[in-house]
């Protein structure tokens, strides 16, 4: 039994979307090692990793390789890369506290969401069909809208100093960034409510 169990575990580790996840980690490590000395190369590598974030989900559904490990790997990789970006920006721009507050909001929101997902027995933190908030449903239910918010948020943060404040592209990305932060707050509150509901149900 043990060899068969080990073989199954190995196969999950070697799922195509999980291999993409490992590749993203390597890309991010290289990118952040160069973030101060080669900013253009850093931006290219960071956004390539961001692009691969969309590929892993597609491969998971295409080859029926959806896994809990993959979901956690994807979440952790996303959160760490965003945290590192915000930490770097807090050193480059002032006031740096703004970026650190955004970092805290991002981690808190997604941690609550992931934990409440497992408490409810769901397999994906993106399953919000039972939630009442329309914006949260729109974010996770419509991939183009999610992609716009995520890409706009990353671009807005990465180019906030280089982009003229009155440019159309800046306002478009600023809107996406603002919506993403509102969704983070909503997600944190609804996920916290789910955790509290679990506690009250368990205590009865």
Tens digits of residue pLDDT in 15-67:
999 999 999 999 999 999 998 888 889 888 988 998 888 888 888 888 889 88
What are the tokens at 56? 């892993």
Q: Are residues 104 and 204 in the same domain?
A: yes
Q: Are residues 114 and 204 in the same domain?
A: yes
Q: Are residues 98 and 189 in the same domain?
A: yes
Q: Are residues 87 and 157 in the same domain?
A: no
Q: Are residues 82 and 101 in the same domain?
A: no
Q: Are residues 37 and 126 in the same domain?
A: no
What pLDDT was estimated at residue 114? 85
Best mean pLDDT range from 33-47, 116-130, 137-151: 33-47
Per-residue pLDDT of 183-192, as tens digits, reads 999 999 999 9
What pLDDT was estimated at residue 3? 57
Q: Are residues 117 and 52 in the same domain?
A: no
Listed residues 92, 119, 150: the one ending a domain: 92
Listed residues 43, 76, 92: the one ending a domain: 92
- Decide if pLDDT at 170 tops 90: no
What pLDDT was estimated at residue 1? 46
Q: Pick the residue with more confidence: 8 or 133?
A: 133
Q: Are residues 159 and 111 in the same domain?
A: yes
Q: Are residues 116 and 40 in the same domain?
A: no
Report long-range pairs for 14-18 (Cβ below 8 Å, ≥24 apart): 15/60, 15/63, 15/65, 15/67, 15/70, 16/56, 16/59, 16/60, 16/63, 16/65, 17/55, 17/56, 17/57, 17/59, 17/60, 17/65, 17/70, 17/74, 18/56, 18/65, 18/67, 18/69, 18/70, 18/73
What pLDDT was estimated at residue 6? 58
Q: Are residues 69 and 28 in the same domain?
A: yes
Range 148-157 average pLDDT: 78
Distance, CA of 50 to CA of 154 (rounded, Å): 9
What angle do the packed helices 39-62 and 16-33 form, to 10 degrees? 170
In terms of residue numbers, what domain contains 200? Answer: 94-204
Listed residues 63, 92, 121: the one ending a domain: 92
- Decide if pLDDT at 196 tops 60: yes
Q: What is the domain count for the chain?
A: 2
Instruction: Based on the residue annotation, tell me whether 130 is a catalytic residue of this protein.
Output: no
Q: Are residues 28 and 117 in the same domain?
A: no
Determine which one of 56, 74, 78, 106 is catalytic: 78
């Amino acid at each position: 039994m043990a060899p068969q169990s080990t073989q199954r575990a190995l196969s999950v580790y070697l799922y195509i979307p999980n291999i993409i996840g490992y590749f993203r980690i390597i890309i991010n490590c290289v990118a952040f090692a160069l973030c101060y000395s080669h900013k253009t190369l850093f931006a290219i590598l960071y956004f390539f990793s961001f692009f691969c974030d969309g590929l892993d989900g597609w491969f998971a559904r295409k080859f029926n390789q959806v896994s809990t490990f993959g979901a956690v790997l994807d979440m952790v990789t996303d959160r760490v890369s965003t945290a590192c970006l915000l930490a770097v920006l807090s050193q480059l721009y002032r006031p740096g506290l703004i970026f650190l507050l955004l970092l805290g909001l991002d981690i808190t929101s997604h941690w609550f969401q992931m934990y409440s997902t497992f408490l409810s027995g769901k397999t994906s933190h993106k399953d919000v069909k039972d939630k009442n908030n329309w914006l949260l449903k729109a974010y996770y239910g419509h991939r183009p809208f999610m992609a716009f918010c995520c890409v706009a948020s990353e671009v807005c943060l990465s180019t906030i100093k280089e982009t003229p404040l009155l440019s159309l592209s800046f306002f478009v990305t600023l809107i996406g960034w603002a919506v993403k932060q509102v969704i983070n707050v909503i997600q944190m509150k609804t996920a916290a409510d789910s955790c509290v509901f679990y506690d009250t149900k368990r205590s009865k």
